[in-house]
Chains A and B, each alone.
Chain A
């Protein structure tokens, strides 16, 4: 039986909700904070900022990451920038505009109150990061510089060369490192969460596997935060780092946390096209390049002339043609589909005809080589290293790739999952981006969750628990979870089949990309739902993991992650099948208007789908959170 979820949005006018909440929230006295143990899993922007701030407040924090150092979390790879409604350039930005752009960008499928809070705290994030020494780009007068990103008509993106994520993560990592040095945080590196433990329906702690020794241990806490990133690697090929995975969120899901909107995945329009079958990773070329790069394909089918020999009037600058007011800065979902259509029409460029041009020639003519080079040099160099081509001489070739996942664990206004005491932050939750995320908003959300939201909301949960006993790691639930985890990892090694985890991951990725990628149909999804369980059965009987479950074994790590991707993959397809509308990154071919734009069905689908685990992803229960829009008018999302 399905339930309707209550997001616990505070009362009052939109702009006052967060202040009202903070005033009403229960507090833990400073001297009592150290009595509470909080586990933070993940040390990306969301996790590092949360762990550091919670420890500053005085809580006892244990931080876990599967990386060797917190500084290596996938956030490090973000290139383009971070949004904030500072309006430093007086171009009409405001909290309300950032709120509106995010709601609209998400195709009216996100929760108003959360998005508004995000827009409100965005300014504090920039202040905080500058105070910590993040060397954001400056203008000659010494003030902060901004650039534009897709889906916005104001310049609100702060950046540090092409390495914004790196600089922000280093900032958050430094705050975390300071707390580790002071003893407020204990760090468990190279430790992977393999299960979440609940006792009497409440979060009690986690079970982790030491990636160096293979040892499996339990850790108890009053509250647990999962900040474990997105699941874009379900597609096998993606711009995510190789080790990104869904295991933490999935294991929590299996212990009672609902999984929201798994079909909302973002395919980023500007990645380097695949060059051959051995490829294991796709590389993103930052969206910021679309500030100055123009996207085009030849007007003629199968035009094999080099770009320079194709005259202006035989080029189709299709984004400028289709979306004149946003042009090359049309949002990601729209740009990606347009690129797919251009390539599918036989006008793709490059040796495999699997890309479109991103051309900097007009920018170089207009601004001069030096200016363009200064803006993008590290991206140009990276492109040249990978492809062997100089993008200032011939256009870059780009194509869409899996990049970000809007779906994730369902959380309420306090970022608590459906399991009391279990929180989820950053890309791992579903909270703020609806059906499509705008560029430069993920970094903003991760830092908002970690620095400015969780430190308030967790106290509200902990305060009534003061001096009450909580289950320790000797509780039978911990022992049972440990045994199950041991059996699980030992099981992979004992199958003794014939195919590697990577083999299965690649096959799985193919199915999801083909049927649950940029365009989806009921027929395709049903096909995927027939193929996936069969392939999963094969995985369970024909997997080969060499080595043992003791000591370092990366093949074994991969096996566990692929297992969870299989189960998630089925849920993604089921979610996509049941959402009979097109919205944002979820494009169902059956639901489009005469011009091929997404057709939402607000009457029947203005809700969040939050899936409940039943023991088999093919039978999970679809629960709903109704979305109400009191402050924006539900409009057709037009960027024309």
Chain B
């Protein structure tokens, strides 16, 4: 274990959605390189409370890179400098003594800031609610091995399903688009045999809901680079293809139950 010394944090503080917000500077005199970035914020927060100040608000929960609750732009990068790593899995060994680190919330018009570093990402839920599912009411399912699914298909669906819904893709996108998120969910379901019945209705509904809330994709590719799960841009191509098909063939009525 080694100690990292004299870190300067420039942290975005904002009292509420209506407040203008500002950067505040904090010095962290010493922190172990084994500590995670969020543990450093924990230590700082405890100090702030001891000094009678309000702790910095940030979202987090599992701290295992799976729940998608943590966020943070760290030095302008969504989830910070480590590739394929969510903020909660970022460790201080990625930084050096005397570094200045700028910490900001996700910035996107679809994700209003609630306080400090906490944003509202519920627009993602709205997209799922209109079609991000397979209609399979409880109790009526046939035996699970009835439909064999070739391993490569199951693996590809799983690659898409790994999305943790953190919103880094939106935060990294200059247009604030949610195409990577939406396409990952669509691809997960559209690639599976069980997902075929609702394939085109799903795609159409989700894409249109996405467009209501988010900016449009102009193929920057920043999203893929920022994604802590390495979700591939190929899924966007797949989504676009299915969307075109659904419009072109007007399959919506066909696949509706």
Q: Tell me the chain A residues, 612-635 only, with Cβ under 8 Å from chain B.
A: none
The stretch from B57-65, B95-103, B169-177, B241-249 touching chain A is B57-65
Residue ID in chain B nearest A239 by CB atoms: B64
**B135 / chain A contacts, CB cutoff of 8 Å:** 178
Find out whether the CB atom of A68 lies under 8 angstroms from the CB atom of B31.
Answer: no
**B154 / chain A contacts, CB cutoff of 8 Å:** 135-138, 142
Bound together, the chains give a CA A132 to CA B157 distance in angstroms of: 13
The stretch from A218-226, A311-319, A382-390, A432-440 touching chain B is A382-390
Residue ID in chain A nearest B189 by CB atoms: A133
**Residue in contact with B34 in the complex, picked from A72, A133, A163, A275, CB distance below 8 Å:** A275
**B115 / chain A contacts, CB cutoff of 8 Å:** 551-552
Find out whether the CB atom of A142 lies under 8 angstroms from the CB atom of B150.
Answer: yes
In the assembled complex, A467 has its CB within 8 A of some CB on chain B:
no
Residue ID in chain A nearest B85 by CB atoms: A385
Find out whether the CB atom of A180 lies under 8 angstroms from the CB atom of B129.
Answer: yes
In the assembled complex, A495 has its CB within 8 A of some CB on chain B:
no
In the assembled complex, B195 has its CB within 8 A of some CB on chain A:
yes
Instruction: Provide the B142-156 mask, 1 if CB < 8 A to any CB of A, else 0.
Output: 111101111100110
Kindly name the residue among A212, A498, A545 whose own CB sees the greatest number of chain B CB atoms within 10 A: A212
Find out whether the CB atom of A278 lies under 8 angstroms from the CB atom of B31.
Answer: yes
- Chain A nearest CB, measured from B137 CB (Å): 5
In the assembled complex, A276 has its CB within 8 A of some CB on chain B:
yes
Q: Tell me the chain B residues, 169-214 only, with Cβ under 8 Å from chain A.
A: 188-189, 192, 194-195
Find out whether the CB atom of A130 lies under 8 angstroms from the CB atom of B50.
Answer: no
Bound together, the chains give a CA A52 to CA B148 distance in angstroms of: 27
Contacts A/B (CB < 8 Å), 27 sampled: A68-B121, A69-B125, A70-B125, A71-B68, A72-B61, A76-B62, A76-B68, A130-B144, A133-B133, A137-B154, A138-B148, A138-B151, A138-B154, A138-B155, A143-B148, A144-B144, A161-B158, A177-B129, A177-B133, A189-B122, A382-B64, A382-B65, A386-B89, A544-B50, A546-B49, A547-B54, A551-B16
In the assembled complex, B132 has its CB within 8 A of some CB on chain A:
yes
Bound together, the chains give a CA A351 to CA B33 distance in angstroms of: 14
In the assembled complex, A67 has its CB within 8 A of some CB on chain B:
yes
In the assembled complex, A124 has its CB within 8 A of some CB on chain B:
yes
**Residue in contact with B161 in the complex, picked from A76, A129, A135, A275, CB distance below 8 Å:** A135
Residue ID in chain A nearest B115 by CB atoms: A552
Find out whether the CB atom of B89 lies under 8 angstroms from the CB atom of A554.
Answer: no
Q: Tell me the chain A residues, 452-466 only, with Cβ under 8 Å from chain B.
A: 452, 455
In the assembled complex, A242 has its CB within 8 A of some CB on chain B:
yes
Find out whether the CB atom of A280 lies under 8 angstroms from the CB atom of B122.
Answer: no
Known pairs A72-B67, A546-B54, A555-B55; A500 contacts B49 (CB<8 A): yes
- Chain B nearest CB, measured from A381 CB (Å): 8
Find out whether the CB atom of B85 lies under 8 angstroms from the CB atom of A177.
Answer: no
Q: Tell me the chain A residues, 363-389 only, with Cβ under 8 Å from chain B.
A: 381-382, 385-386, 388
Bound together, the chains give a CA A29 to CA B206 distance in angstroms of: 34
In the assembled complex, B20 has its CB within 8 A of some CB on chain A:
no
Find out whether the CB atom of A167 lies under 8 angstroms from the CB atom of B161.
Answer: yes
Known pairs A133-B194, A552-B118, A554-B55; A278 contacts B64 (CB<8 A): no
Kindly name the residue among A137, A163, A388, A554 whose own CB sees the greatest number of chain B CB atoms within 10 A: A554
Known pairs A77-B66, A552-B114; A135 contacts B158 (CB<8 A): yes
**Residue in contact with B50 in the complex, picked from A177, A351, A500, CB distance below 8 Å:** A500
**A278 / chain B contacts, CB cutoff of 8 Å:** 31-32, 35, 39-40, 42-43
Find out whether the CB atom of A555 lies under 8 angstroms from the CB atom of B141.
Answer: no
Find out whether the CB atom of B66 lies under 8 angstroms from the CB atom of A56.
Answer: no
In the assembled complex, A93 has its CB within 8 A of some CB on chain B:
no
Bound together, the chains give a CA A544 to CA B46 distance in angstroms of: 10
**Residue in contact with B61 in the complex, picked from A178, A243, A499, CB distance below 8 Å:** A243
Kindly name the residue among A53, A139, A545, A555 whose own CB sees the greatest number of chain B CB atoms within 10 A: A555
**B59 / chain A contacts, CB cutoff of 8 Å:** 68
Known pairs A68-B122, A69-B165, A278-B43; A133 contacts B142 (CB<8 A): no
Bound together, the chains give a CA A165 to CA B64 distance in angstroms of: 13
**Residue in contact with A128 in the complex, picked from B38, B53, B125, B141, CB distance below 8 Å:** B141
Residue ID in chain A nearest B126 by CB atoms: A181
Bound together, the chains give a CA A239 to CA B190 distance in angstroms of: 34
Bound together, the chains give a CA A142 to CA B134 distance in angstroms of: 20
- Chain B nearest CB, measured from A517 CB (Å): 21
Bound together, the chains give a CA A369 to CA B165 distance in angstroms of: 31
Find out whether the CB atom of B62 lies under 8 angstroms from the CB atom of A241.
Answer: yes
Kindly name the residue among A86, A130, A140, A552 whose own CB sees the greatest number of chain B CB atoms within 10 A: A130
In the assembled complex, B130 has its CB within 8 A of some CB on chain A:
yes
Chain B interface, DSSP helix/strand/loop, else mixed: loop
**B82 / chain A contacts, CB cutoff of 8 Å:** 385
Find out whether the CB atom of B68 lies under 8 angstroms from the CB atom of A135.
Answer: no
**A143 / chain B contacts, CB cutoff of 8 Å:** 145, 148
Known pairs A67-B69, A131-B141, A555-B49; A276 contacts B132 (CB<8 A): no
Bound together, the chains give a CA A128 to CA B66 distance in angstroms of: 23
Find out whether the CB atom of B42 lies under 8 angstroms from the CB atom of A502.
Answer: yes
Bound together, the chains give a CA A283 to CA B66 distance in angstroms of: 12
**A385 / chain B contacts, CB cutoff of 8 Å:** 65, 82, 85, 89, 91
**B121 / chain A contacts, CB cutoff of 8 Å:** 68-69
Bound together, the chains give a CA A165 to CA B45 distance in angstroms of: 31
Bound together, the chains give a CA A177 to CA B36 distance in angstroms of: 33
**A212 / chain B contacts, CB cutoff of 8 Å:** 114
In the assembled complex, B93 has its CB within 8 A of some CB on chain A:
yes
**Residue in contact with B32 in the complex, picked from A56, A177, A275, A452, CB distance below 8 Å:** A275
In the assembled complex, B238 has its CB within 8 A of some CB on chain A:
no
In the assembled complex, B48 has its CB within 8 A of some CB on chain A:
yes
**A128 / chain B contacts, CB cutoff of 8 Å:** 136, 138-139, 141
Residue ID in chain B nearest A455 by CB atoms: B138
In the assembled complex, A147 has its CB within 8 A of some CB on chain B:
no
In the assembled complex, B24 has its CB within 8 A of some CB on chain A:
no
Find out whether the CB atom of B114 lies under 8 angstroms from the CB atom of A138.
Answer: no
Bound together, the chains give a CA A56 to CA B84 distance in angstroms of: 38
Q: Tell me the chain B residues, 1-52 only, with Cβ under 8 Å from chain A.
A: 1, 15-16, 31-32, 34-36, 38-40, 42-43, 45-46, 48-50, 52
Residue ID in chain A nearest B195 by CB atoms: A133
In the assembled complex, A302 has its CB within 8 A of some CB on chain B:
no
**B36 / chain A contacts, CB cutoff of 8 Å:** 386
Find out whether the CB atom of B1 lies under 8 angstroms from the CB atom of A181.
Answer: no
Find out whether the CB atom of B192 lies under 8 angstroms from the CB atom of A127.
Answer: no
- Chain A nearest CB, measured from B75 CB (Å): 18
Find out whether the CB atom of B66 lies under 8 angstroms from the CB atom of A276.
Answer: no
Bound together, the chains give a CA A385 to CA B50 distance in angstroms of: 31
Find out whether the CB atom of B138 lies under 8 angstroms from the CB atom of A163.
Answer: no
Q: Tell me the chain A residues, 183-238 only, with Cβ under 8 Å from chain B.
A: 187, 189, 212
Q: Tell me the chain B residues, 78-129 only, with Cβ under 8 Å from chain A.
A: 82, 84-85, 89, 91, 93, 114-115, 118, 120-122, 124-125, 128-129
Residue ID in chain A nearest B16 by CB atoms: A551
